[in-house]
Structure 1
Amino acid sequence: MDVFEHYAPFIQDYIYEHNWQTLCPIQVAAAEEIFTTNDNVLLSASTAAGKTEAAFFPILSKIYNQPADSIQVLYIAPLKALINDQYDRLTELCEESNLKVWRWHGDVAQSQKRKLLKKPSGILQITPESLESFMINKHMDIPHLFHNLQFIVIDELHSFLRSDRGGQTFCLIERLSKLAGVNPRRIGLSATIGNLQAACNFLGAGSPFKTMAPKVQNPRQVWRLSMEHFYQTDPQAASKDFDPSAVIEPKTDQAPQLADPGIGYIFEHTRGRKCLVFTNSREECEAVCQQLREYCKFNHEPDRFLIHHGNLSPALRETAEQAMKDEDAYLTTCATATLELGIDIGQLESAFQIDAPFTVSGFLQRMGRTGRRGNPPEMHFVMREEHPESRAMLPDLIPWSLLQGIALVQLYLEEKWVEPPEPNRLPYSLLYHQTMSTLAASGEMTPAELASRVLSLAYFHNISQKDYQILLRYLLKTDHIQWTENGGLILGLAGERVVNNFKFYAVFQENEEFSVHAGSEELGTIVKPPPVGDKIAIAGRVWVVEDIDRKRHQVYCHGVEGRIPAYFGDVPGDIHPKILQRMKKVLTERTQYPYLMNNAKARLTQMRDTCNLAGLPAKSLINLGGKMWAFFPWTGSYAFLALERLLRIKCADRLNLRGFNSSRPYYMEFAMDATAEEFFQILHEEAAKDFDPMDLVYPKEVPVFDKYDEYLPGELIRKEFAYSVLDIKEMKRCVSELKQ
C-alpha cells in the first residue's frame, strides 16, 4: 500500500515540513498493520528507529477522520518524564489538526484535568499509577470518558514484562475496557524485545484480537563499545610491575585524595562531550557524582556534572533534563535507570556504565540513549574492584562484574538474546491490590461478583477459586474487607487505611522516605535519616543534618565539603540463568574480545589462568583447603536460591554442612565432611526426587517479597515463594548437568 497517501493531511504536512525523504521500514510496516487489520501490534525496533511516529502517524490519521466525544487513544508510559517528553512531541505533531493531547499525572495542574473531564477527546497520556487512581476515584466517569476508545499504546513495553507493575497495567486495561464497553487495539513499543512471540502473548493477554509483530530489516548497526578494568588503587592489571600477590599500599599523594583511577578515566573521557554515566544503584550514583565533582574542584574546572535518580526532587531531575537538552552545553549526568528509558535529553555522544548491569535489556537500553541522528551508539564499561587481599580465597579473585559484562555483550552479539517476559504464576500481592482496588472503585459486591471481576483478569489465570476463598476469608478476619447487612463485601476499616493512602496506587515496593530540604530548596528523599549532626549524601553533594521532623517526614540540612556514601535501600536485580551460563563459557574460551581495553584484557587473562589452575569451570566444586569448599553452579538468581535451600534443607544432614555463606548468584562457600564425589551423589539424589516445592520453605518462614505480602495469609505467601519465586525447574536442570 502507499502508506503516505493513507496519512491524514496534517501528518503529510508534518513530514514535508521536517524534510523527510522516505519513511523508515518500521513506519511502513506499522502503517500497513494499523490501517489494514484489527490486530494488536508490537513494534520492536532499535532506539531512534522512529517507533513513536510509526505508531502515531496511522493512529492519529484514523481518529482524525472519526471525531468522537471521548478519549480515543490512551498512551501508557512507565515514567512521568517520558510522558512530558512525548507530550511535547505529540502536541507539535497535532498542532495543525483538531486533535487534543492530554496528560494526567501528579504534576499536571487541576485546571487541565477538569477540562479533560468536562470535554474528553483525542489522546490521554498516563502512568500505570495515575490510571489506578483514575479507576478508583473517577470510576463513574469511565464510560463517559472512554466509550469510543480505539487504541491503547504501551510505550517501553519491555519495562512491564517482568514485574507486577506490568501485571497491574494489563489488569487496569482489561478493567477499563469492560467498564467502558470497548475493545481497543493494543500497540506496544520497545527497542529491547528478544522473544517476539512471548512478548506478543503478554501484550495480547485478555484481548479479543490477535497480536502481530511486523518483522522489519533494521539497518546493520555499528557500535562503539569498550570495556576497561580498574583496580581502585594502582598498579593496574596491564602495568608491567603488577604482582597479584603483592600487598598494595594506597597512594596518599594523589589528588583528589584517594582518587579512584576508574572515576579519573570517566572524568577525562567526558571532557568536552555530552555523556551519561550509568550506575546500578542510587548510592553509587551519589558517590560517583561526588567524586567527579571533586576532580573538577581539584583541576580548577567548572562543575560539569549533573545527577538524576528516583529519589531526587522533580525540580532537580528536570533541571538535569533541561540542561542536557542544551546543544552547546558539554555536560555529563550521573544516572540510574531513570534515564534508561526514552526521555529526550538531546544528542548524547557517549554512555559510560560503571560495572555490569543485571540484564541484557538494561545494557541495550542504556547504550541506546546514544547514537542518534546518524551516529553509532557508543558505550564504555568501567569495571572496578579492590585489590584482593593476599590470603583471599578463589571466589574473591574473580572479577565477577567484568565476567558478567562480557557475557551480556556476547549474548546479544551472538544470539540477539534479551530476557523474555516472566509472567508471575501466582501473583498474590497484586491479587490483593486489585481486589481492594475493585471494591474501592465499585463499592459493595457479593463474593461471587468480586471473584468474577478479579479472577477473570488474564494475569490471574493460574489462581484457583480455592486460593481466592482463602484470601477473602483472611481479609475478613483482618478487617481489610467486611460483610454488609445485605451479604455483600465492602472495604473494612483496615482496608480503607491502605487504599486511602496515595501510595496504594503503586504496586512496586517503596521505602519510608523523608524529604530533604536545604533552605527553600527540596533536594529529594532519603530512607532512614541519620541523627542530627551526621552527614548525608544527596544531589551529588554532602550535607549536615540540622533537624528531623518525623511527623512530616522532613529532614533539614546545610551543605558542607567532603565525601560520604549515600543509602536509599537499593537491592540488586535478579540475573537470568543464561547470563551465568555465558559467564562460565567466557572462562573456557581463549577469545580476546575486540572491545576489551588493555587492563581488561590483562585482567581477563589473569582470571582465566587463575581459574584454570584451580580447575574452574571444568569443576563446579573447588576445595579451598581442609574441609572448606566453594561451589559454582552457574545458574540464575532464583534457581541459585532454590539450590541453596536444597543443600541446606535436604542435603545438610547427610553432608554435615556448616559455615554456609553465599554470594548470590555466583558462588556458595561452606564446610562439610563429605568428599566431592559424595557431595555430587547426594545432591543429584535429592534434586532428582519428586518433592513438593513447599519443602524448600523453612518452618514458620513467611518470605515477604512483594509490596502487599504483609496483608496476605502466611500460607499464600509461602506458596507463592515456593512456586513462583524459587526456580525449581531450572535448579533441577542445573544439577543434572553438574559434574564433579
Structure 2
Amino acid sequence: MRRAVPRVGLSATLGDFTAAADFLRPGRGPDVVIVEGADDAGEIRLQLRGYVARRPDEGEDPLHETAIAQHLFETLRGSDNLVFANSRAAVEHYTDRLTRMSEGLRVPNEFLPHHGNLAKDIREHVEARLKDRSTPVTAVCTSTLEMGIDIGSVDSIVQIGPPHHVAALRQRLGRSGRRGDQPAVLRMYVAEPALDGQSSPIDALRVGVFQAAAVVDLLLARWYEPPDRDNPHLSTLLQQVLSVVAQRGGARPAELFEALCGHGPFARVDRATFAALLRAMGAADLLVQDRGGLLLAGGTGDRLINHYTFYAAFRTVEEYRLIAAGRTLGTLPIDHPIAPGMLLIFSGRRWEVIAVDGRQKVIDLRPSAGGRVPPFAGGGGTVADAVRRRMLELYRTGTPPRHLDAAARALFEEGSDAYRRFLLDERPIIGIGRDTLLFPWRGDKVMGTLALALTARGLSAGLEGPALSVRGADPAELRAHLGALAATDPPSAIDLAALAGDRIVDKYDEYLSDDLATLAHAARAVDVSAAWDAIREFAAATPAGPDLVLPAPATAAGATAVLGRTPFAVVDVETTGSPPSITTASSRSQSSDSTRPATSWTAGRRWSTPAAMPGRRTRTA
C-alpha cells in the first residue's frame, strides 16, 4: 500500500499548477515536474445569439426553441459539430426537432444525441461517426463529450443556454480548431423571457446574456476556476476505503490512513476525522473489524462493492432500462410516475410506453408519431465569484461585447437600462412589496453562505440568479440584519452548514454521521470569510438615497383567467362516501369517468394516461 506509483496529470484549464502538483504528490509538490505548452495563439471565432422566450400557444413548441433549431439546422448541416445543452432534456428536445426538420425536407439526418443515459453501443456509434470524416455529423450532447473521449476535431462548438463554468467552456471549445490553421468556432444561444408588467427585476436584467458574456470575457483572459482545495471529499474517501478493503481482502486502520490520507490524495483529512469516518462506516454495516483488528466489508458494504454502480464516485438517480423490439436503447432516470400509454422522447426519437416493470426496472417501448420529452435530470452548476464580478463590470460600463448579434445586443442594452433604472450601482437592493432582492455580485458559494447567515437570524432567504431573495423583510429590515451581522464575529462554517436543510449531496453522504455530513457540507458549500467580507462591505456603504421599493406582483385572484392556461381546482363535494378530493381541470374527466383517458401536466408538459383496466394500477405523471 506504500508503493510509489508514477502519476501524470494533464489539464488545459488550470491557472495554478502548484495546487495540481500538491495533489499529485501530497507534501512533495515542489518535486513534481511541470511541463507547460506554448501559448495557444490560434484564432477563435465567437458569436452570442439572443432570443426572446414567449409563452407558446396550446400544443405548440416554444417559438424561440424552434428558431434556435432552425438556425442550427441551416448553419451546421454538412459539417462536424458538437452542440452542448445544459440538460438531457434539452439534448432530446433539439435532437428531435432537428431530426424532424431533416425528415420534412427528405434529407439525411446528421443530428444525433449523446448523453450518459444512452446505451453504450448508441454512444459509440455517434463517436465513430464523429471520427469518420467522410460523412458529416452533429452530436447534440451534455458534458459527456466535453473531454475524455477521442473524437478528433470538429468544425464548431455550440452552447445552448448560458455557460456556468469558464473551465468547462474552455474544454468544450478545445474540441474545435485542431486541424491545421482552422479557427476554433463557438456559437452560443441564450433566450431571455418576454417582459410584461409582472416581470421580476431578475428577468429585466437579462442575466443569461450577461453571464454568457462574462464567461467568454474570462475565457479570453485565460482565467479559470481554481480547484477546491478545502473539500475533504469524504464521500469519495468512503468509497476508496471500501475499494482498498475489497482489493486486499481486508486492511488495518493505520494502513488505510497512511495510504489514503497520510501519503494519498486525501491529505486534508486528519486522523480524528478518519477515525470518525471508520466509526460511521461501522455503524452503517459497511465495515466490520475482526479480533485481530483487520477491517473487512460488512453486509451492506459487501452489497455496495458488488453492485455495478459502486465504481462511479458520483451520485446517480434510479434508472430504468428502455427496450424497443428486444433492443436496449439506454437508461432513463425516473423522477416522475410513468405508465403504459405515456409518450416520451429518447435517443432523438418519439416512443410510446407499452409496459413498465418496476421490479426489474425495465420499460418497453414502441415507436410513436407524437409525444413530449420527459423531465430529465440535469443542470448547469455553480457560478464563481469572478463571473459575477465580471457581470457587474459589464452592467456598469453598458458596453456590449462585439461578438453579440443584433438580438443579443438589444437584450444586453435592455439589461443595462434595467440596471440603471433600478439604481443598482448606487443601492444594490430592491424591495418588492414585503420582500427584498439583495445583489452582492458574488459567486454561488458565497451567496449560499449569506443565505444561511440570514436564516440563522430567522429570515427566509434563497438564491435567485445573481441576487439573494429575502422573504418577509423590506429593505430597511434587511439592512438592519446585515448591520447586526457585520458587527458580530463570524460564526464557524460548521455552525452555518448545520442549518442547511439537505446536507446529503454526494453519492455516499447518506452513510456519514450527522457531524461528518455537516463537515463535508461546510467545506463544499460554505465560505464564511468571503461572505462576511461582503456583509461588511454592504454595511459600510452609505446609501445614496431611499431604497427602491416596487409594488408586489398582482395575485392570481386579480388576474384574468385564460382557458387552458390558468390553473384552477375543482372540489368534489358530492356525497360519494369518500373525502373531498382536489383535482386539476385536466384530470377532472378522469375523476368523473375512470374508464376515459385523462391528461395531466408535469413541468409544463401534457401527458396522456391510459384508461384504467381491471388488475392494473395506473398513475398520472
TM-score tier after normalising by the smaller chain length: 0.7 to 0.9
Q: Which residue of 1 aligns with 2:162?
A: 356
Alignment of 1:548-559 (within 5 A): 548-559=356-367
Q: Which of the residues 463, 467, 473 maps onto 1:667? A: 467
Matches within 5 A, 1:256-267: 260-267=66-73
| Distance in 2, Cα, partners of 1:631 & 1:608 | 18
Does 2:495 align with 1:679? no
SS in 1 for 2:9: strand
**Residues 115 and 123 in structure 2, CA contact (< 8 A), matched pair in contact too:** yes
Go from structure 1 to structure 2 and tell me whether the alpha carbon gap of 1:608 and 1:460 turns closer, same or farther (over 3 Å shift): same
Task: List per-residue Cα deviations over 1:503-547 (Å, max 9, x = no partner).
Answer: 212211112211111113221110126112112221011211111
SS in 2 for 1:212: coil
The 2-side partners of 1:485 and 1:342 are apart by 45
Distance in 2, matches of 1:252 and 1:502, equals 43
Return closer, same or farther for 1:192/1:672 CA change in 2, 3 Å cut-off: same
Say whether the 8 Å CA contact 2:344–2:372 is kept in structure 1.
Answer: yes
Asked whether 1:383 is paired with 2:190, we answer yes
- Paired residue secondary structure (2:314): coil
TM-superposed CA distance for 1:488, in Å, is 3.2
TM-score normalised by L of structure 1: 0.68
Q: 1:496 aligns with which of 290, 293, 302?
A: 302
Cα gap change, 1:618/1:287 in structure 2, threshold over 3 Å: closer, same or farther? farther
SS at 1:425 equivalent: coil
Contact 1:195 1:418 in 2 (8 A): no
SS in 2 for 1:458: coil
Deviation of residue 460 (structure 1)? 2.4
Alignment match of 1:402 (pick from 192, 202, 209) = 209
Structure 2: 5+ residue stretches without partners: 544-621
Give the match for residue 522 of structure 2: 722
Match 1:692 to one of 492, 499, 504: 492
1:735 is aligned to 2:535: yes
Instruction: Sort the Cα spacing of 1:351 and 1:183 in 2 relative to 1 into closer, same or farther, 3 A.
Output: closer
Instruction: Tell me which of 455, 477, 496 is aligned to 1:648.
Output: 455
Distance 2:384 2:399 in 1: 23
Task: Report the CA distance between 1:323 and its aligned residue.
Answer: 1.9
| Structure with the largest fraction of helix | 1
Deviations 1:573-626 (A, max 9, x none): 1221111111111111132311111111111011101121111244221123x3
Confirm or deny: 8 A CA contact 1:232 1:261 kept in the other structure: no
Give the drift of 1:701: 5.1
Which 10-residue stretch deviates more, 427-436 or 195-204?
195-204
Cα deviation digits, residues 665-703 of structure 1 (max 9, x gap) = 522333445544x53343143155232223224569561
Q: Which moved more, 1:280-289 or 1:479-488?
A: 479-488
- The more displaced of 266-275 and 695-704 is 695-704
CA distance in 2: counterparts of 1:311 and 1:372, whole angstroms: 29
- For the 8 Å contact 1:371–1:377, the answer to whether it is kept is yes
Aligned-residue offset at 1:271:
2.6
C-alpha spacing 1:267/1:468, structure 2 compared with 1 (3 Å): same
Deviation at 1:342, TM superposition (A): 5.3
1:546 to 354, 358, 378: 354
From the superposition, tell whether residues 716 and 673 of structure 1 become closer, same or farther in structure 2 (CA, over 3 Å): closer
Counterpart contact for 2:429–2:475, Cα < 8 Å: no
**CA spacing shift, 1:562–1:194, aligned 2, 3 Å:** farther
Deviation per CA, 1:350-370: give whole Å up to 9, x if none. Answer: 111101222111111111211
- The 1:702–1:362 alpha-carbon spacing in structure 2 relative to 1, beyond 3 Å, is closer
Q: Report the equivalent of 1:366.
A: 172
- Change in Cα spacing, 1:563 to 1:585, as seen in structure 2 (3 Å) is farther
CA distance in 2, matches of 1:219, 1:695: 45
Residue 321 of structure 2 corresponds to residue 515 of structure 1:
yes
1:205 aligned onto 2:21: no
**Higher mean C-alpha deviation, range 477-486 or range 397-406:** 477-486
State the Cα distance separating 1:627 from its structure 2 match.
2.5
Q: Is the 8 A contact 1:514 1:555 kept in 2?
A: yes
Q: Percent identical across equivalent pairs?
A: 28
Q: Distance in 2 between matches of 1:449 and 1:632?
A: 49
Query: In structure 2, do the counterparts of structure 1 residues 193 and 673 end up closer, same or farther at CA, with 3 Å as the change threshold?
Result: closer
Quote the residue 1:628 is aligned against: 435
Q: Is the 2:346–2:373 contact (alpha carbons within 8 Å) kept by the matching residues of 1?
A: no
Give 5+ residue unaligned stretches, structure 1: 1-174, 234-248
For 1:206 and 1:514, the matched residues in 2 are separated by 45
Residue number among 187, 194, 202 corresponding to 2:15 in the alignment: 194
Q: For residue 224 of structure 1, what is the aligned residue in structure 2? A: 45
Distance 1:612 1:328, change over 3 A: same
Tell me the distance in 2 between the aligned counterparts of 1:701 and 1:608: 36
Q: How many residues align?
A: 536
Q: Distance in 2 between matches of 1:487 and 1:563?
A: 59
How far the C-alpha of 1:253 sits from its partner, in A, is 12
Q: Check conservation: 2:447, 2:468, Cα contact below 8 A.
A: no
Is it true that 1:599 corresponds to 2:407 in the alignment? yes
What's the counterpart of residue 164 of structure 1?
none
- Tell me by how many angstroms 1:556 deviates: 1.0
Question: CA contact under 8 A between 1:277 and 1:351: conserved in structure 2?
Answer: yes
Query: Aligned in 2, Cα 1:627/1:549: closer, same or farther, shift over 3 Å?
Result: closer
Are residue 337 (structure 1) and residue 143 (structure 2) matched? yes
The whole-number CA distance in structure 1 between the counterparts of 2:58 and 2:354 is: 32
1:616 paired residue number: 424
Q: Distance in 2 between matches of 1:263 and 1:390?
A: 29
* Conserved? CA contact 1:229–1:600, under 8 Å: yes
CA distance in 2, matches of 1:188, 1:680: 47
For residues 287-310 of structure 1, give each alpha carbon's deviation from its aligned partner in whole angstroms, at most 9, with x where no partner exists. 111122222233343322111111
Equivalent position of 1:587 in the other structure: 395
Q: C-alpha displacement at 1:707, in angstroms?
A: 0.7
CA distance in 1, matches of 2:456, 2:143: 37
What amino acid sits opposite 2:455 in the alignment? R
Deviations 1:643-679 (A, max 9, x none): 11111113x3xxxx45x5532x522333445544x53
Alpha-carbon separation, structure 1, partners of 2:261 and 2:131: 46
The DSSP-based 3-state class of the residue aligned with 2:92 is helix
- Once the two structures are TM-superposed, the CA of residue 416 in structure 1 deviates from its matched residue by 1.4
Residue 265 of structure 1 and its aligned partner are, at CA, apart by 1.7
Cα distance in 2 for partners of 1:194, 1:593 equals 24
8 A Cα contact 2:448 2:462, kept in partner: no
Structure 1 residues 623 and 490, CA gap change in structure 2 (3 angstroms): same
Please give the TM-score of this superposition, normalised by the length of structure 2: 0.80
Preserved contact between residue 703 and residue 718 of structure 1 (Cα < 8 Å): yes
1:625-644 Cα distance to aligned partner (Å, 9 max, x none): x3232112211122111111
Q: What are the residue-to-residue correspondences of 1:92-171 with 2, within 5 Å?
A: none
Q: Taking structure 1 as reference, are residues 723 and 232 closer, same or farther at Cα in structure 2, changes over 3 Å only? A: closer
Aligned partner of 1:412: which letter?
A: L
SS at match of 2:446: helix
Q: Give deviations 1:696-716, integer Å, cap 9, x for gaps.
A: 245695610111111111111
Structure 1: distance between partners of 2:502 and 2:50: 41
